[in-house]
Structures are given as structure tokens and as C-alpha cells.
Amino acid sequence: TQACLSAIDGADALGAIVHKTPELALERAKAADQRRAEGDAPDMCGIPIGVKDLFCTEGVASQAASKILDGFKPEYESTVSGKLRDAGAVMLGKLNMDEFAMGSSNETSVYGNAVNPWRAGNSDASLTPGGSSGGSASAVAADLCLAATGTDTGGSIRQPAAFTGTVGLKPTYGRCSRWGIVAFASSLDQAGPMTKTVRDAAIMGRAMMGHDAKDSTSANLEVPDFEAMLTGDIRGKVIGIPQEYRMEGMPAEIEQLWSDGTAMLKDAGAEIRDISLPHTKYALPTYYVIAPAEASSNLARYDGVRFGYRAEMAPGDGITEMYEKTRAEGFGPEVQRRVMVGTYVLSAGFYDAYYNRARRVRTLIKRDFDEVFAAGVDAILTPTTPSAAFELGQRVSDPVEMYLNDVFTVTVNLAGLPGVAVPTGKDRNGLPLGLQLIGRPWEEGELLNTAYALE
Ligand code: GLN
């Protein structure tokens, strides 16, 4: 813990940590030492971690990187961060992210962007660590903590993991309780671990999962010992390669990475099968209807009364002006865009044309996966992102170009499946590149074992 705290003190330029909690960390580290001395030490006991600012942490600022939650210090702990705390993990601080987890580059944060510790070749241009869990990825990659929590609504664990050479697991929808995590799109949101290795993801992931009566979508299922399942033996496993992910204009290095990964799994004894997921091309537009729709509803609670920020009032202002000014000043431009898109697609006149249609297409996307798994495929291998980390500032002015980053990751959330991003190579500038494995529901253990064979 002390080594991490001093690393953090020297790393302000990365912008990864937005609320530091050194006293709390030392107190928890001492308690962890005590537990170890008493022989009561779960795997996470004493492990210094960072927690994404989206998780409510008791008595510690939890702002979802938004001005509208300025000064908000929850009186409760999210179930997931509480499980880690109870397992003895030591929180070093809260980590940067895109505002309300909306973004792919950590550039929509009220705290300013986080920076990727990697550089392209000899260039000194600052790169994005990805988003929305950019602070988590940056902190893990720069050794400011041993692991971090992330959340993934459309790729926010897996894409930043790919950009920073770290491992990111998005569990099956329902594995991790959403209770106490600031809601973005409730039917898509999942918490998960961001770590240096697959083994660490197995250990930390298990500690984060489990049934919680406070989240009605939380699954009441046993969480197996994932670490014990890491044998590296994948003989006879069927790995699907979906043709629809071979996008036009995909960089040759990504093609190469993908075929190298395929060859590796084949050499390890897996059977490689070409598969089709025909509705893939509708995934991005479907996601960018459903996610803003749910966000516009979830974000209605930020009204200047219950939480955080309230705008200055002018004489004569009533409650309507208070709401309007607070929301106009408290939400950044990307969040406002999502709220507007969301309210539009949910409005009486357009509900059927957009929201309902997107929901139906979502079912078709899910069915594509169901059919492939029913035909005997154990896991699906794809690239995690269409490129390596890009420069900060490069894409922020064009939302559509930013949304295209999520092309390989959003299908997994729409279908509620587990997905893991594993670093497997470098591009010509030495930047990390990653592959994604998608598994059957509740089979995170098998999925991590396949990732282990790729690592
Ligand atoms: N980049 C996607 C978005 O902006 C995904 C974000 C996420 O997974 N939280 O919505």
C-alpha cells in the first residue's frame, strides 16, 4: 500500500486518481495485516486497488466524474466495492472516468482526461487510456494500484484494457450487483475487474460477484473458484470466428493480431469454426438508442434537490428554473446529448419507431449468439477494438467517430454475455493491442481459462 501511495504521489500528470484516500488506505492496510496475522485472509486481503468514481463509497466523494454530483459523499457503500472491502482489499482512491460513464476516451470527465502511460514509438503525444474506465486502466497499467474496478455498459472495461495492455472482464449481466453503482443504462451496466493478468481477473472478479437481494436483476447462482479453473487446457473447445467482425477498412495489424490469436488457440488444441452473427451490423445503432433512452430516465434524479450541485438562483426563479439551470450547468455536453437523444426516442411520437424497434433488434442480436452457442461453440474470438489507443483530442469533436470505437464490444452488453479483453500483441508503434473472448452466460470461469491460454 505504501509503495502504491508513493507511486500515486508521483503520477499526478496521468490524471488517473481523482480522490485520493491515503489515510483510509493505511488504516485498511493495517487491518489487513492484522487479519493475515490471525490467519483469516481471503485472496484480496491487503491488495491495494483503485475504485472507479462511479461506485458509491461510504464517506468518500463519488461523483461519476460529473459536476452535478459535486460534493456528494454517499452514506453507503456499493455492494461490489463493499464485497472487496470486506474481503480486505485496500482502496487507495477513486479513479477518473468519462462523465456518467458516457464516452470512450475519458475526455468527458469534469476532472479533465486521464492519460495513457503508453507512448507511440518516439512520439511524445499523449494518448487516451480509453473510456469510460480510463482512470482504472491508466492506474493499473502505470502500477499505481494492483487492480481496479471498472464498469462496462458498451465496452468501458474491455476497450480501455485493450488500449493499456491490461486485462478486463465484463461479467454476465446479473453476476455483479448494480446496487450503489451510479446508473447509466440499467439493462446493460455491469461491474468487473481490470487487472494486469488473467489470474488476477479470476481472483478479483470472483470477489466482486454474487447474489444481492438489493438488485432485482442480480443472479442467485454460485460463483465458482475461477482461479482453480485456470488450467490452460482448452483441448476440444470450439472457438467461433464471426465473419461479421471482419470490418471493411480494418487495419492489417488488427487482422494479423486476430489470426495470430486464432492460431494460438488452435495450437493449444481448440477447434476453430467460422460462424455468422448476422445482426452484428445493427448493434451500434441499437446500443445508441437503448443506452441513451435508459440514461435519460436514470439521470432524471439529478434535479438540484437530492444530490450534489445546485445552480445559483436569480430573484424570481422558481423550481422549474432551478431544475433547468442546475441541469444545464451540472451536465457536460456529452451527457446532455444523451439525455436529449434518450428523451426523443422515448417520446410518445417516436417510441415505436426508435426505442421499440431497437428493443426488437436487441432480441435478434441476442438470438444470433444463442444459436451459435447452441450449435456447440464454447467461445467467440474477436478483436477488442478497431485500432490501438488514439491521441487525446483527436476524436472528441466527432461523436459518431467516437461511437465507432465500440463496434466490437456493444454486442456483448446487448446480449448480456460475459466478455474478456486480453492483451495479445503490439502495433507497429509498440502500442498494446487486445483480443476479446465472448462466452456463454455464467461461464466466466471457462472464458477466463481460454483467455489464460491466449495470454
Ligand atoms: N463508449 C460507450 C458509451 O459511450 C460505452 C460506455 C460504457 O461502457 N460505459 O456509451
Task: Write out residues with Cβ below 6 Å of ligand 1.
Answer: 101-104, 132, 152-156, 184, 291, 406
Quick one: pLDDT band at residue 248, thresholds 50, 70, 90? confident
- What is the pLDDT, as a whole number, of residue 401? 84
Number of C-alpha atoms within 13 angstroms, CB side, residue 283?
A: 27
**Closest ligand 1 atom to 151 CA:** 9
> Total domain count for the chain?
1
CA of 372 to the centre of ligand 1 (A): 26
Q: Is residue 454 part of a domain?
A: no
pTM of the full structure: 0.98
Q: Is residue 450 part of a domain?
A: no
- Domain of 213 in residue numbering reads as 2-229
Quick one: pLDDT band at residue 400, thresholds 50, 70, 90? confident
Sign of CA dihedral 17, 18, 20, 25: negative
- What is the pLDDT, as a whole number, of residue 21? 98
CA of 345 to the centre of ligand 1 (A): 18
Q: Hey, which residues are catalytic here?
A: 52, 132, 156
Q: Is residue 102 part of a domain?
A: yes
Q: Is residue 293 part of a domain?
A: no
Preceding amide of 132 cis, omega within 30? yes
**Closest ligand 1 atom to 153 CA:** 8
Question: The sheet that has 271-275: what strands, in order across it?
Answer: 17-20, 90-95, 48-52, 147-152, 190-195, 167-170, 419-426, 432-439, 379-383, 238-242, 271-275
Question: pLDDT tens-digit profile of 24-81?
Answer: 999 999 999 999 999 989 999 999 999 999 999 999 999 999 999 999 999 999 999 9
From residue 2, give the alpha-carbon distance in Å to each of 41, 46, 60, 95, 187.
19, 11, 20, 18, 39
Q: Is residue 279 part of a domain?
A: no
Quick one: pLDDT band at residue 227, thresholds 50, 70, 90? very high
Q: Is the pLDDT of residue 305 over 90?
A: yes
φ, ψ for residue 274, nearest 5 deg: -75, 130
Q: Is residue 63 part of a domain?
A: yes
Question: pLDDT tens-digit profile of 341-354?
Answer: 999 999 999 999 99
Burial 295-324 (b: 16+ CB within 10 A, else e): bbbbbeebbbeebbbbbeeeeeeeeeebbe
- What is the pLDDT, as a whole number, of residue 247? 85
CA of 78 to the centre of ligand 1 (A): 20
Residue ID of nearest Cα to ligand 1 atom 4: 103
Question: pLDDT tens-digit profile of 165-201?
Answer: 999 999 999 999 999 999 999 999 999 999 999 999 9
Mean pLDDT for the stretch of residues 361-385: 98
CA of 166 to the centre of ligand 1 (A): 18
CA of 38 to the centre of ligand 1 (A): 43
Residue ID of nearest Cα to ligand 1 atom 5: 154
- CATH code of the domain containing 114: 3.90.1300.10
Q: Is residue 216 part of a domain?
A: yes
From residue 23, give the alpha-carbon distance in Å to each of 140, 187, 295.
21, 36, 35
**Closest ligand 1 atom to 402 CA:** 1
Task: Note the Cα 380 to chain centre separation in Å.
Answer: 19
Q: Answer yes or no: are the C-beta atoms of 137 and 156 closer than 8 Å.
A: no
Q: Is residue 17 part of a domain?
A: yes
**Closest ligand 1 atom to 131 CA:** 1
Burial 40-57 (b: 16+ CB within 10 A, else e): ebbbbbbbbbbbbbbbbb
Q: ipTM value of the model?
A: 0.97
